[in-house]
Amino acid sequence: MTDITPYLDLIHYDGTLVPSSRTLYQLHLRHTHTIPFENLSPLTGEEVRLDIPSLLEKFTVRNRGGYCFEHNTVFQHVLQQLGFKTVNLAARVRLNESDEVITPRSHMLLLVEADGQQWVADTGFGGMSLPVPIRFSVDEIQDTPHGQYRLGFDSGIYRLEARIKDEWKVLYIFDLAAHYPPDYEVYNWHVSRHPSSYFVTDLVAARAAKEGRHVLHDTQYSFYSLAGEVEKRQLHSVNEIKELLENTFRIRTDGVPGLDARLDALLAAGKNSNL
């Protein structure tokens, strides 16, 4: 067994370790509010490793975050250590995609059993990550600390939807076929290495907070408050971006080789976002 104490210390969790829905809820909430979503590794050409020792070291020692494969691999490992039954799933991202585009299975999520029910857990979907698990229940609108979510179902395919500005948006679609580490190794290589991958070309970071969500895309920072207000700010220098990553997203940047050069390139290209 792996010692998960450093992980529990990182997310400031000192509650019960009984494999219950309450434990699942609290672990998920603290994970998403503590460990940032970020893609500095693929952006700078650093290998994204999915073995548990490397991931725990990245999160707890190097004070970094990661993307879905990293977040949910660690979260699933922690849950299994505590006695939860889990199934690993893979999804096709649909947010901001037109209906005719077929997207690959590039996202990892979990199906977790607790207290006789199944729950969808997903700690790694960036700015729209589930802040807490939701019941695996179709067409039930479920309230979370960061808005409403629901599951849809049609022709054997499930949809995770979020209410965004009073409109339901499909985040991703999936089925219940179990996936295994070799599957994610293939997906992870494509997402972190393919020259056209969003995570190779763009800077992305996100972190949930009690007051709302922090999101960074290239040189634009956005904060979406729970009250519905949106703050946007354009960043104009490498130091400004790194200061934001360090202080707002809680990402240590001094150990990321080549980061300054990549940020310089983003600034020179005038990359920004309409997030």
Please give the domain boundaries of the chain with CATH numbers for all domains.
195-268 (3.30.2140.10)
Please check the confidence at residue 274 and state whether its pLDDT lies above 80.
no
Active site residue: 28, 31, 68, 217, which one? 68
**Mean of pLDDT values over 14-22:** 96
The 10s digit of each residue's pLDDT in 169-203 is 999 999 999 999 999 999 999 999 999 999 999 99
Say which range, 108-112, 154-158, 207-211, 267-271, has the weakest mean pLDDT: 267-271
DSSP 218: T
For β-strands 167-174 and 204-209, DSSP reports them as unpaired
Residue 68 annotated among the catalytic residues of the structure: yes
Alpha-carbon span 273 to 275, nearest angstrom: 5
Q: 31: helix, coil or strand? A: helix
Active site residue: 122, 146, 214, 217, which one? 122
Please check the confidence at residue 257 and state whether its pLDDT lies above 60.
yes
pLDDT for the residue numbered 271: 67
**Mean of pLDDT values over 3-13:** 96
pLDDT for the residue numbered 270: 81
pLDDT for the residue numbered 9: 97
What burial letters (b/e) apply to 44-53, b meaning 16+ CB within 10 Å? bebebbbebe
Please check the confidence at residue 275 and state whether its pLDDT lies above 90.
no
Residue 122 annotated among the catalytic residues of the structure: yes
Active site residue: 31, 107, 146, 214, which one? 107
Backbone φ and ψ of 107, nearest 5°: -130, 140
- Tokens representing 11 are 């997310």
The 10s digit of each residue's pLDDT in 124-137 is 999 999 999 999 99
pLDDT for the residue numbered 2: 74
Q: 81: helix, coil or strand? A: helix
CB 27 within 8 A of CB 19: no
- Between residues 227 and 60, which one has the greater pLDDT? 60
**Among 16, 30, 101, 107, which Cα is nearest to 67's?**
107
Residue 236 annotated among the catalytic residues of the structure: no
Classify the C-alpha dihedral 134-135-137-142 as positive or negative.
negative
